[in-house]
Structure 1
Amino acid sequence: MPTLDELLEHKDDPMKKRLQRQILKTVMTQATGTKLETVRQTLKPTFEMDTLKDELYEVYSALLNSFEGKAQKALAQRISESAKLIVNVENDGETFVNSFKTR
């Protein structure tokens, strides 16, 4: 690591400045990438619906078997709409998490 005196001695050297800028950019990019990955890993589980899907499937199956005729068809339609919403939440969450970029 250069000392302050060494840095001041070459403060007007354009090559030295360019090298320092490149080093700074590299270090900042690495730090940002690490922090970004931490954010992604933290956010990703909040949008996963696997456990919720399993529970809903059991409840929906029990409900569908409890009804017949028009009531069963209406319930099946609502269940289908709910399933589409769950898929949309997962897709939106994945899109949101992947939207974070570094330069």
Structure 2
Amino acid sequence: MLQGGDLEKPDLVGKIPSGKDYEVDLYLRQKWQDERLKHAEITEALDLNDPNLVKAIWKPEVYFPNAKHAEFQYVTVPNVLVRINPDGGILYMLRPRFSDLDDF
């Protein structure tokens, strides 16, 4: 069950004039609980950043209907992290880039 999340956005200086194109990088964090990943033997959080491991874990679908274009950042690997806590809590962090995001 998705427990929450947040979207960290930069402070935009001033208002962007209508009709102007712009891009913005954001930090998206989502949290949920998966009892199947709860293990008493594990005492520290496990960070996964291997793309194959990240793909293997269920993640909520994210949809931004008011963006003209959105993409996830890739440098040499995807800019994403999954942290699994000993209690089965999951933190999913990624960094999307948007073009012309209305009602931001």
- What TM-score comes out, normalization by structure 2 length? 0.21
Structure (1 or 2) with the larger CA radius of gyration: 1
Which structure ranks higher in relative contact order (CA pairs < 8 Å, sequence separation ≥ 6)? 1
More strand, by proportion? 2
- What TM-score comes out, normalization by structure 1 length? 0.21
